[in-house]
Amino acid sequence: MTTAQIDASPTARQSPVRPAGLEVVNLRKSYPGHKGPGKTLFKNLSFILARDERLAVLGRNGQGKSTLIKILGGVLPADEGVISWKMRPSWPIGFGGGFQGSLSGLDNIRFLSRLYERDYAQLVERVDDFAELGSALHQPVKHYSSGMRARLAFGLSIAIEFDCYMIDELISVGDARFAEKCQKELFAERNDRAFIMASHDMSAVKNVCHRALIVESGQAKFFDDIDEAIDVYTWLHAP
């Protein structure tokens, strides 16, 4: 099997009885090269995500999984294309760049409580209960470890509530107990929500996701059969 065989013209697929929550049309993202041609991560990427659908984004490191999550979350701009949200998405969970590093965790919570019109005291209580950061909430976020940032981001996303959760490998963050806590809060307590999850954890992908998008060598291919997608990803990832 070659990369060309893996690729296919992207198509927007959706069950006709399931309302669309996200429509993406002709998305393209490239990075200029320092010397010579740049790198195209994906192009002509179009798809529809239903309001209760769970999509895995798969690919080797550097192929554009995290970039796609950040574009859909509004963190990075696309070069071309249209992203139309018909439901409220989370920020990319696991991406700590959205916090103001010079502010404390509490001050970041205060800012987001105003932005999303939530009660500050209630938001702090819910975040503190879930993230278990304790006195660290009084410290500037720039002093947090990547795991602490992820806990804060996850706690906030759970406390604020979203229609679609975008996840970038967060489930691997923290100890086994915290990982289990994340699994329960996301996939059991919010099993009616949509998810877009970039992950290398094929066990989680198989257990959680309905469909998959594989990004490889500047192309993208959708799979309605999650087992087939995992087989192709495993083949691509083989040494």
Strand segments (E) across 98-218 = 164-168, 194-198, 211-216
pLDDT at residue 1 is higher than 50: no
pLDDT at residue 172 is higher than 60: no
Please, what are the domains in the chain?
A: 3-237 (3.40.50.300)
Tell me, what amino acid is at 61?
N
Structure confidence by residue, pLDDT tens digits, 52-63: 999 999 988 888
Within 10 A of 17 (CB to CB), how many other CB atoms are there? Answer: 6
Structure confidence by residue, pLDDT tens digits, 63-103: 888 899 999 988 899 999 999 999 999 888 765 556 788 89
pLDDT at 204: 84
User: What is the Cβ-side half-sphere exposure of residue 124, based on CA atoms within 13 angstroms?
Assistant: 16
Distance CA 177, CA 187 (A): 15
pLDDT at residue 168 is higher than 90: no
Among the listed ranges 25-39, 185-199, 219-233, which one has the minimum average pLDDT value? 25-39
